[in-house]
Structure 1
Amino acid sequence: MTYDSLKKSYKTFIKLLWVTENEDTDKNIVGIFLFAFSVTDYAIKQGYQQLFSEDQIINIYKKIDKDTIKNSQSRKKALITMLTTYPILVNIIRENEPVFEYICEHYIKSPNGLKHYRLFYPNDKRSIYSFFIETHSLHKPLFIVKLYNIIKDSEDFNINQFTELMFTKVPSFYGFDDADEVTDFFIHHIEELSDDSIKKLMEIYNNNNQFKNRYRHSNDMEIIKKHLENEHKEVEKNSTNNDN
Structure 2
Amino acid sequence: MSKKHLLVVDDDQRIRKLLKQFLTNSGYRVSTANSAALARELHQQIEFDMLILDVMMPGEDGLSLTRTLSNSDSTPILLLSARVETSDRILGFEMGADDYLPKPFEPRELLLRVEAILKRSVMKKGQKIPMEISIGQMTYNMNRKELWSPTERVNLTPVETKLMQTFAKRPNSVFSRDELVQSIASSAPTKTKEKTNIRTIDVLIKRLRQKLEKNPKYPGYLKTIRGYGYMLEPD
Specify if TM > 0.5: no
* Larger RCO, structure (CA 8 Å, separation 6 or more): 2
Give me the TM-score of the superposition, normalised by structure 2: 0.25
Higher strand share: 2
- More helix by percentage: 1
